[in-house]
Chains A and B, each alone.
Chain A
Amino acid sequence: MNIKINGKIQVVDKNINLLELIKSLGLSSCRVVTEYNLRIVPTEEREKTFLKENDSLEIISFVGGG
């Protein structure tokens, strides 16, 4: 199915949960913040958050800044 990750449409497995998706992207779950359909998903809720077709996901982390 298609979901939008950080503004780009990506094809992911059906019935995947957020935690699995983060891992499949090679990211460390504790190092990123996720916003799913504009709602912040706490780390402990990722495993029970299942993605659906055309959902929108933002995966965010820290960078240098002034």
Chain B
Amino acid sequence: MEDLLEIGGKKIKSRLFLGTGKFSDYTLMKKALEVSETEIITVALRRVDLESKQDNILDYIPKKCTVMVNTSGARDADEAVRIARLAKMSGAGLWIKIEVIRDNKYLLPDNLETLKATEILAKEGFVVLPYMSPDISIARKMVECGAAAVMPLGSPIGSNRGLKTKELISIMIEEIKAPVIVDAGLGRPSDACVCMELGCAAVLVNTAVAISKDPINMAKAFSEGVIAGRRAYLCKITQGFNAASPSSPLTGFLREEK
């Protein structure tokens, strides 16, 4: 049976979601998105720069991808809701990544404001994926309010420091009755692989791919890491043992064992 992730009525094959920020150019980004086989990508909304005309990023998003607009720049729930409504009006669809950040140094999310925005937007019919600090009580409330998934951070946005929140993420996977998607901070394909081995539904990666020397191959490497981790998770990874256990039969003919 095919292993599909279902979110917001959509059946998703690739468990690697990709962000589109920080790529040096859109053509390169498009190729990276294509080779990764990602189906969910994020974009942001910004004021049009009237002085320098830029290409429209949507022209460089592969057709099979669902666009999820983030609410970056929002400092409270009202601003996040305002951005989400603008996104809807733009025809980008109803997938929204809520991102409410007041902390400029570590870019850590404001969980309470994020929860408020989740409640409002889920009621309005958005497919809401809140970016959050891994907190099980808040995550439960977000799901009760209609979040389609929760997206706890691995480490600060753009830091490439990997899965620093591993213990908390494990608890969330066990306790939260919605997909848990690690978003932010994953720096290496092995980080993504570990997330998937733990049982995450998906991961969202941007900086590690976009700023690598070869974003196209790095996108592929992340895709492979995600596939390997997911496959291992489905095989039920056995726990470690203290003592060794021989993999080869112990030869009995060299001497008599006492």
Q: Which residues of A contact B54 (CB under 8 A)?
A: 63
User: Do A61 and B206 have beta carbons less than 8 Å apart?
Assistant: no
User: Do B19 and A58 have beta carbons less than 8 Å apart?
Assistant: no
Interface of B is mostly: mixed
Q: Which residues of B contact A31 (CB under 8 A)?
A: 56, 58
User: Do B42 and A58 have beta carbons less than 8 Å apart?
Assistant: no
Shortest Cβ gap from A58 to chain B (Å) = 6
User: Do B89 and A64 have beta carbons less than 8 Å apart?
Assistant: no
Partner-contacting stretch, out of A11-19, A32-40, A47-55: A32-40
User: Do A5 and B42 have beta carbons less than 8 Å apart?
Assistant: no
Interface string of B77-118 (1 = CB under 8 A from A): 000000001110110100000000000000000000000000
**Any A CB within 8 A of the CB of B20:** yes
**Any B CB within 8 A of the CB of A60:** yes
- Closest chain B residue, CB of each to CB of A7: B47
User: Do A65 and B86 have beta carbons less than 8 Å apart?
Assistant: no
User: Do B43 and A6 have beta carbons less than 8 Å apart?
Assistant: no
**Any B CB within 8 A of the CB of A59:** yes
Shortest Cβ gap from B98 to chain A (Å) = 13
A-B residue pair count with CB separations less than 8 angstroms? 88
Q: Contacts A64-B21, A64-B57 known; A32 to B48 CB distance under 8 Å?
A: yes
Q: How far is the CA of A65 from the CA of B44 in the complex (A)?
A: 5
User: Do B70 and A66 have beta carbons less than 8 Å apart?
Assistant: yes
Q: How far is the CA of A32 from the CA of B46 in the complex (A)?
A: 10
Interface size, B (range): 35 or more
Q: How far is the CA of A5 from the CA of B45 in the complex (A)?
A: 16
**Any A CB within 8 A of the CB of B143:** no
Q: Contacts A31-B56, A65-B42, A66-B19 known; A60 to B86 CB distance under 8 Å?
A: yes
Q: How far is the CA of A40 from the CA of B88 in the complex (A)?
A: 10
**Any A CB within 8 A of the CB of B169:** no
- Closest chain B residue, CB of each to CB of A65: B44
Q: How far is the CA of A7 from the CA of B70 in the complex (A)?
A: 22
Q: Which residues of A contact B26 (CB under 8 A)?
A: 64
In-complex Cβ contact of B20 among A25, A28, A58, A64 (8 A): A64
Shortest Cβ gap from B154 to chain A (Å) = 13
Minimum-distance CB pairs A-B, first 10: A65-B44, A66-B19, A66-B206, A64-B20, A64-B21, A6-B47, A33-B90, A59-B48, A65-B21, A66-B21
Q: List 17 A-B contacts (CB under 8 A).
A: A25-B50, A27-B48, A32-B48, A33-B89, A58-B47, A59-B47, A59-B50, A61-B90, A63-B21, A63-B57, A64-B22, A64-B26, A65-B19, A65-B206, A66-B22, A66-B204, A66-B207
Interface residues of A (CB under 8 A from B): 5-7, 25-28, 31-33, 35, 40, 42, 58-66
Interface residues of B (CB under 8 A from A): 19-23, 26, 29, 42-48, 50, 53-54, 56-58, 69-70, 72, 85-87, 89-90, 92, 157-158, 184, 204, 206-207, 210
Q: A60-B90, A62-B46 are in contact. List 5 more A-B contacts (CB 8 A).
A: A6-B48, A40-B86, A61-B90, A63-B44, A66-B206
